[in-house]
Amino acid sequence: MSGTKMGAHTILRLIGKGGIGSVYLAKNEANGKLEALKMLLPELTESTEMRERFEREISNSKYLKHPNIVKLLDYGKSNGIWYFTMEYCKGGSLNDLIMRDGMPSPAKACRIVLQVLDGLDYAHNVEIPQVKLNDGSTGKGCGLIHRDVKPENILILENETESRRAGESETSNIQTGNPASLANFAETGRRPTTDNLHVKISDFGLAKSYRLAGKCGNTQTGSVGGSLAFISRQQLLNYKYSKPEVDVWSTAAVLYFLLTAKPPRSCDFEKNPFSAILKNNPIPIRQIDPSVPEGLAVIIDRALDDSGSLFYKNAIDLKSDIEGCTIE
């Protein structure tokens, strides 16, 4: 795909591949900037369901304007294939961060999650001017739930000055044919410093306006989406009518993962994943790592208790408790 033109963009290399699309590093020929270009997999172009999901991600993302959400830059169709471009988060995902730098300290993990909660609070209250309804008409939506918050969907952007320098450097390397520039950043790229960590939520392909649940046709009854290691029982049992609290639970699960390198439940997701979620309670975090600060552990365990009604109904309440926690 290197050298392929998609609209005003030239593809440079593959960054990653998901269930319905591939993400490439691309150069915007109009301004010379590096951007991330997501393309619907060619083999899925005939699938109405996958095409509509991809188009929904574009529709959702274009209304999201927040420092902690990946920004949509452009979208279109080229050679019969839908694509869109986003700001390039050179630091990769939280998984890449852990592979490079090891497990973050509790303080650093909390700084990351507080930014995620800021982005979610915005998304949960954003106004969506046009949402396609079941009858073919459009309506105004308010509040998007992500439904797939996980380490892979939380990306790292360096501060503006460093990002600009990095983009100029990589563009220069590519133009001069430096082989190192074609390697995966997680292996060879510059590391963002701890002080400059700026995280952004990506991939709103499963998101929907929860206040129009049952009216906008984004979810079939009985379907389930999201990454099973990071979803609550409530999302599993009532996916179509999920509320913001399921994103908050998933964010607490991400914090748990950042502190222990494990998801909250200890179970085999390969054999019977749904049963595993329903039968296995999250393990108290200090049973996995006794060094987690006690006050923070109380908050995390409370947030992940999905045996009944979820404790944290919105992102701000969890953020407030984490901010009020003393972490050595």
User: Could you tell me if 89 and 155 are in contact, meaning their C-beta atoms sit under 8 angstroms apart?
Assistant: yes
Q: Regarding beta strands 198-201 and 154-157, do their DSSP bridges make them parallel or antiparallel, or are they unpaired? A: antiparallel
- Predicted confidence at residue 231, as pLDDT, reads 93
Q: For residues 202 and 123, what is the distance between their CA atoms, to the nearest angstrom?
A: 12
Among the CATH numbers 3.40.50.11030, 3.30.460.80, 3.30.200.20, 3.50.50.60, which is that of 1-88?
A: 3.30.200.20
Q: Which helix (H) or strand (E) holds 100?
A: helix 94-101
- Predicted confidence at residue 211, as pLDDT, reads 56
Burial class (CB in 10 A: 0-12, 13-18, 19+), 216: buried
**Which homologous superfamily is 94-156+194-323 in?**
Transferase(Phosphotransferase) domain 1 (1.10.510.10)
User: Could you tell me if 204 and 146 are in contact, meaning their C-beta atoms sit under 8 angstroms apart?
Assistant: yes
What contacts 86, CB < 8 A, 6 or more positions away?
A: 35, 36, 37, 38, 61, 70, 71, 72, 73, 202
- Predicted confidence at residue 159, as pLDDT, reads 47
Q: For residues 114 and 255, what is the distance between their CA atoms, to the nearest angstrom?
A: 10
> CA dist 238 to 7, 12, 200, 241, Å?
40, 41, 27, 6
Based on its alpha-carbon atoms, the radius of gyration of the chain, rounded to whole angstroms, reads 20
Mind giving me the DSSP string for 287-328?
HH-TTS-HHHHHHHHHHH--SSS-S--SHHHHHHHHHTS---
Q: For residues 314 and 117, what is the distance between their CA atoms, to the nearest angstrom?
A: 9
User: What is this structure's pTM?
Assistant: 0.83
Q: Which helix (H) or strand (E) holds 58?
A: helix 48-61
- Predicted confidence at residue 177, as pLDDT, reads 33
For 114, the token pair is 């507080």
What are residue 311's phi and psi, to 5 degrees? Answer: -70, -50
> CA dist 189 to 28, 96, 202, Å?
21, 11, 21
- Predicted confidence at residue 219, as pLDDT, reads 45
Indicate the angle between helix axes 244-260 and 315-323, nearest 10 degrees: 40
- Predicted confidence at residue 72, as pLDDT, reads 96
Q: Where are the domains of the chain?
A: 1-88, 94-156+194-323
- If you ran DSSP here, which 8-state letter would residue 214 be given? T
Report the chain (328 residues): mean pLDDT per 10 consecutive residues. Answer: 90 88 95 95 83 84 94 91 93 93 95 98 88 60 89 82 43 33 33 68 84 47 63 89 94 98 80 82 97 97 96 98 88
